[in-house]
Amino acid sequence: MRLIKLYIIFGFLMVFSDLFGQRTKKEVFAIQFSGVVVTQDEKTGDAIPLPYTNVYIKGSSRGTVSAFDGFFSIVALRGDTIRFSFVGYDPVDYVIPDTLSIHFYSVYQIMTQNDILLPETVIYPWPRKEFFKQELLAMDISNDLKKQAEQNLAEKIVKEMIKEVPFDGVESVNLQLNRIADDAVYTGQIKPMRIFDVMAWQKFIKAWKRGDFKRKKSN
């Protein structure tokens, strides 16, 4: 009798474990959610890619950014809410259907610019605007200052400054985002070798003829 009870209890445990396993399998149904984020060009009205758009799953710490061509890809679950956000654009929430039976799902997401205008901030080095007029009238704009300004704005000097002056914060962030987006495009595969890139060789030969690789003479 005791053996029969053990068999009955064991049978119930097997049934419940099977049901629990099916439920867990259904909840973790993974989907490769990908697509393209675009916006409308104000002049032509055509759709253009919107790079560096934040794409993340609400309620989690997982997310990504769209590449330079607007492409993105992220692993999500059925029923997840995907948030698209970009500075100057209205955020968009997209809910992945919970009835999907395939593991791949793509969207074409359009972002709309918002009409929120930040107040203008004007910084003056004087206590009041009247002091600016006084300083401007008293300014000495001699020929020497004009000549010095023309020399500072010379094309050759500007090019040298571009090579020597370090990047500011915005340029550094954009460079890093470009690298992240480039790495995301080739995730899981080998990057193409630039040694076989005809255009890269053409740029290299032109730079060599211009003398860009010559060692500069020290003063």
Tokens of 164: 């020597």
Q: Which of 53, 29, 28 is nearest to 39 (CA)?
A: 53
- 115 compared with 34, residue with greater pLDDT: 34
Q: For residue 215, what pLDDT band results from cuts at 50, 70 and 90?
A: low
Q: Which residues pair with 55 in a beta bridge?
A: 64, 84
Separation CA 85–CA 63 (nearest Å): 11
Q: What is the pLDDT of residue 26?
A: 46
| Separation in Å, CA 111 to CA 6, 65, 108 | 62, 14, 10
Residue 27's SS3 state is: helix
Separation CA 178–CA 151 (nearest Å): 34
Q: What is the pLDDT of residue 22?
A: 46
pLDDT digits (tens, 9 = 90+) for 36-52: 999 988 788 888 999 99
pTM above 0.85, yes or no: no
Instruction: Find how far residue 39's CA is from the centre of its chain.
Output: 14
Q: Which of 187, 169, 171, 167 is nearest to 65 (CA)?
A: 187
Q: Kindly provide the b/e burial profile for residues 157-186, where b requires at least 16 CB atoms within 10 angstroms of the residue's own CB.
A: eeeeeeeeeeeeeeeeeeeeeeeebeebee
Q: What is the pLDDT of residue 148?
A: 73
Q: What is the pLDDT of residue 86?
A: 92
pLDDT digits (tens, 9 = 90+) for 181-190: 877 777 767 7
Backbone phi and psi for residue 105, each to the nearest 5 degrees, phi listed first: -150, 130
pLDDT digits (tens, 9 = 90+) for 87-139: 889 999 999 998 888 888 999 999 988 876 666 666 666 667 777 777 766 76
Instruction: Find how far residue 8's CA is from the centre of its chain.
Output: 58
Tokens of 185: 């495009």
How many CB atoms are closer than 10 A to CB 33?
A: 24
Which of 58-67, 143-152, 166-175: highest mean pLDDT?
A: 58-67
Q: What is the pLDDT of residue 49?
A: 92
Q: DSSP secondary-structure letter at 128?
A: S
Q: What is the pLDDT of residue 61?
A: 86
